[in-house]
Structure 1
Amino acid sequence: MSQDLLVKRQFGHRARLSLSRAEVLKTDGQAHAARTMWNLLHAWWRMMPKEERTPANADAAIRQARKDIDFLSVLPAQAAQAVLKAYFQAWKNCWDGRADAPNFKGRLRTGMSVDIPQGRDLNILRVHRRWGMASIPKVGRVRFRWTKDLPVGKHADSENRITGARLIKDALGWHIAFRVQALEVKPDPHQGPEVGIDVGVTVPLALSDGERCEHGEWLTVKEKAKLLHLEQRAAQRKRHRKPGEHTSRRLRRTYDQIAGLRAKAKRRALDWQHQTTTAIARTYGTVVVEALTITNMVKSARGTIEEPGKNVAQKSGLNRSISGEAWGRTVTMLTYKTSRLGGTLHKVPAPNTSRRCSACGFITPGSRESQAVFVCKNPACGWSGNADWNAARNVLHLYRMGHALIPAAGRAVVRRAKRVKPAAAR
């Protein structure tokens, strides 16, 4: 097959590990050692002069620390080098304006993870229809859930292989995230229709063709009642703790139970997002979404002492609802899924998409009287319909009129027209 018809794709696959108690203790020890290595690197960075902050000097400091501090030896050498690489990359992201400056990692507020840079060290083998085996450095052979075919054994070559992995721990236990490289056939252009999508809280995804993607509560009534009971118990036990006293085992167990229920809700939300975005990417060839700055939308309204904010409690509830819908993660899923199926995803400016009438194109005060219904107050129009559907139609119309965001030099540039022409009724 011609190389022009093939495309290289890199993706990740996460699987649940089945570890014994001893293996969990070993993996926990490696994760704590990796976090300590990061903190030592950060302390070294702040102590050294600028001209001596080089990867070579940092590597020498890491090697010396592994000799001087015994418990750091539980971390494999390649994993320690991965920590060094990640630390310098964090500073590069900061200098490029993509992230904040790196800081110390606390024991309780930092996620536990260990990197395995070399895929050949894993020695992956499928032993059962549902289980596979992998080698974890300084831990041994462990089992993981086999839910996706991986390029291993006779199916692996220089173009199709596992390049590495990362061990990640959450409230549900340890998982392994494989980094996979595959050579696939370049998809043909998707011939599906165009669709605009409006994201919201009441209706998570509203499509311009009238379809709506909704979901229920992530936890059942009993699970929500249990979560509330655990949160009340944790607050009561925390209230009786003296200042400076360590967290008791009972309180830690309560925190673990709360984290387990929240992780279950997140896993169900991820499953819904994957199924919904896959269906959209298979159905539509061009997907148009709003370019939302979510970090600004979820800022606190508390204000300052001199100028306190208004409706702080209501704004906090709205912020939690916005964060719970994870709009950014939905757009990320749509981006790579449409690309893999031959489709495209575009972003358009977000202002006034919910206030403009999709039939006449005018913004008339009082048209958005309620959250669910849009009634155009323009005497020459009078169009009425669902408010989310109206916004989705506006999103698609902006793309058709050429108001799409064009990525240039690492940032999004808006190609604006002088006037938004009225959208014909569709």
Structure 2
Amino acid sequence: MDQAGLVKRQFGHRARLALSPAQEVILDGQAHTARAVWNLLHEWWQLLPREKRTLAAADTAIRRARREIDWMRDLPAQAAQAVLKTYFQAWKNCWERRASAPEFKARLRTPLALDVPQGRDLQVLRVHRRWGMVNIPKLGRVKFRWTKDLPVGKLAGKDRRITGARLVKDALGWHIAFRITTLEPVPAPHTGPQVGIDAGIAIPLALSDGTGFHHDPWLTEKEQAQLLDLERRAAHQKSCRNPGERTSRRLHRTYDRIAGLRAKAKRRHLDWQHQTTTTIARTYGTVVVENLGIANMVKSARGTVEQPGTKVAQKSGLNRVIHAEAWGRTTTMLAYKTTRHGGTLHRVPAPGTSQRCHACQTTTPGSRETQAKFVCKNAACGWSGNADTNAARNVLAAYRAGHAPAPAAGRCSRQTRKRAKPTTAR
């Protein structure tokens, strides 16, 4: 809270850049340089004694390296400092058990990215209804797709400004993600109704009031056929390659086309998630979801050689569907959108919500007849209906009964933190 009645809010906005081939080559080179700086910093950090692992020592090392190594000068100085701060923050997240330890960034498996940490360097300007201009250090003025009003010109000020940006490249090209900070009035408490949400397969999001949010396949039939053809072509081209031989340019182009179709599907999925979660946050004051352990849900059923699993192919198909729905990302969106609209988000334990009848609160074997149908086998009840709606009502009932969510476990082990933590930390 910065001022009376105002709250500080930070969010991002992503837009597509329109780069020329020459500009794309320059930006690719800067991103690869940033990745190399990360790897050199990681190696330097591991070699130093614990008592010398400090942010000041790392900053001095990077400044000296920029004076002595020619190719490091291709990276803007502020971007190099951003790499250092990101690396140090990664270790802090590990020590606080919020993430795993930083690792070496491989060239082919690491997405290209670059930071512009200071908003004043961007000089954002709107030049057309559909296009804007942004200044990128050591690259110049670049057009980007204008899809949202940004705090530039008369709209900018102390209460609303762009504080920086991050350039990211995916299969669809380079994009810029603006970091925006605003001061907004504290939202009034949302007076909407309470609702429980069940994330499922038959109905992606089923609500306790009977509402369901569906979506079509992310790719059209023509695009799905094209993706299947490209995957078969890639498999054939890969089989023709001799062991140890480098990947051909033709195979790389096939991989790029596959990645482009998958990126298009992900973009459509994100758009559906944003629209759906915004609708829920605006309509309901209290949103209750399951505290799902997705990592345990998508474990393979293959088993071991001594004890092989059963229905491995079916479980693999289910795991792919669960990954494709991205339930965790939906919950993250609901968390900040409900807060923005004055509502609240609560998590309740997930076990039993899909097997228990919400009407009589009993769990009877065989009640979940199919993925979409629930028929209570309790002779005194006999309720029947949609299985996902039944689970959503159980989720809401668990919240009203006062069940607290299970504690979240960290991903960085105690041994890793003890080995990596320098004596000067914290």
Q: Is the structural similarity TM-score above 0.5? A: yes
Q: CA deviation at 1:201?
A: 1.5
Q: What SS class does the counterpart of residue 345 from structure 1 fall into?
A: strand
Deviates more, 1:321-330 or 1:149-158: 149-158
**Equivalent in the alignment of 1:368:** 368
Structure 1 distance, partners of 2:329, 2:388, is 20
**Alpha-carbon distance in 2 for matches of 1:396, 1:146:** 40
2:211 is the alignment partner of 1:205: no
Deviates more, 1:371-380 or 1:390-399: 371-380
What residue is the counterpart of 1:25 in the other structure? 25
* Range 42-51 or range 109-118, more displaced: 42-51
Is the 8 Å Cα contact of residues 99 and 410 (structure 2) preserved in structure 1?
no
Task: Give the Cα–Cα distance (whole angstroms) in 2 for the partners of residues 304 and 61 of structure 1.
Answer: 48
Residue 415 of structure 1 corresponds to none
Q: Is the 8 A contact 2:98 2:410 kept in 1?
A: no
Identity %: 72
The C-alpha deviation readout for 1:79-104, integer Å capped at 9, x for no partner, is 11111111111111112221111111
Moved more, 182-191 or 226-235: 182-191
1:408, distance to aligned residue in structure 2 (A): 10
Q: Which residue does the alignment assign to 1:350? A: 350
Deviations 1:45-70 (A, max 9, x none): 22222122111221222223223332
Q: How much has 1:187 moved relative to structure 2?
A: 1.7
Cα deviation for residue 3 of structure 1 reads 4.0
Shift of 1:154: 2.3
Match of 2:10 in 1: 10
- TM-score normalised by length of structure 1: 0.93
Question: What is residue 245 of structure 1 aligned with on the other side?
Answer: 245
- 5+ residue gaps, structure 1, are 412-426
Aligned equivalent of 1:273: 273
What is the identity, as a one-letter code, of the residue corresponding to 2:147? T
- Helix, strand or coil for the counterpart of 2:150? coil
Deviations 1:20-68 (Å, cap 9, x if unpaired)?
A: 1111011101100011011111111222221221112212222232233
| CA-CA distance at 1:407 after TM superposition | 7.8
Q: CA separation in 1, counterparts of 2:52 and 2:74?
A: 28
Q: Is the 8 A contact 2:160 2:182 kept in 1?
A: yes
CA deviation string 1:94-134 (max 9, x = no partner): 12221111111111111110011101110111111111111
Distance 2:209 2:62 in 1: 58
TM-superposed deviation, 1:309: 3.1
Q: Does 1:140 align with 2:140?
A: yes
Secondary structure at the residue paired with 2:189?
coil
Give distance in 1, aligned partners of 2:13 and 2:309: 44
- Find the counterpart in structure 2 of residue 100 from structure 1: 100
Alpha-carbon distance in structure 2 between the residues aligned to 1:295 and 1:55: 34
* Partners of 1:409 and 1:315 in 2: CA distance: 25
- Secondary structure of residue in 1 paired with 2:4: helix
CA–CA distance in structure 1, aligned partners of residues 158 and 5 of structure 2: 18
Query: 2:321 matched to 1:324?
Result: no
**TM-score where L is the length of structure 2:** 0.93
The residue type equivalent to 1:88 in the other structure is F
What are the Cα deviations for residues 181-216 of structure 1, in whole angstroms up to 9, with x where unaligned?
011122221121111110012210011011111111
CA distance in 2, matches of 1:393, 1:44: 54
Structure 1 range deviating more: 107-116 or 329-338: 329-338
Distance 1:245 1:306 in 2: 36
Range with greater deviation from structure 2 (301-310 or 127-136): 301-310
- 408 and 212 in structure 1: CA distance in 2 versus 1, 3 angstrom threshold: closer
Q: Which residue of 2 aligns with 1:78?
A: 78
Match of 1:294 in 2: 294
Task: Report the CA distance between 1:17 and its aligned residue.
Answer: 0.5
- Judge conservation of contact 2:90–2:101 (CA < 8 Å) in 1: yes
Question: What letter is aligned with 1:216?
Answer: D
Which string of whole-angstrom CA distances, capped at 9 and with x for unpartnered residues, describes residues 210-262 of structure 1?
A: 11111111111111111011011111111111222221111111011000100
2:424 paired residue number = none
SS at match of 1:79: helix
Which moved further from structure 2: 105-114 or 304-313? 304-313
> Following superposition, which runs of at least 4 residues in structure 1 exceed 4 angstroms of deviation?
406-411
Q: Output the CA distance in 1 between the equivalents of 2:61 and 2:145.
A: 38
Distance 1:210 1:4 in 2: 41
Moved more, 312-321 or 119-128: 312-321
- Name 1:41's counterpart in structure 2: 41
Distance 1:297 1:267 in 2: 25
Distance 2:249 2:325 in 1: 33
Q: Tell me the distance in 2 between the aligned counterparts of 1:57 and 1:309.
A: 52
Cα drift, residue 314 of structure 1 = 1.8
Matched, 1:338 2:320: no
User: Residues 116-265 of structure 1: matches in 2 within 5 Å?
Assistant: 116-265=116-265
5 Å matches for 1:361-400?
361-400=361-400
- Secondary structure in 2 matching 1:4: coil
Tell me, yes or no, if the aligned pair for 2:291 and 2:406 is still in contact at 8 Å.
no
The AA in structure 2 aligned to 1:316 is S
CA–CA distance in structure 2, aligned partners of residues 399 and 410 of structure 1: 24
Q: Equivalents in 2 of 1:396, 1:89: separation in Å? A: 37
Aligned equivalents of 1:138, 1:407: Cα separation in 2:
46
Q: Amino acid of the residue matched to residue 121 of structure 2? A: D
- Extract unaligned runs of 5+ from structure 2: 412-426
- 1:409, CA displacement in angstroms? 12
What letter is aligned with 2:303? G
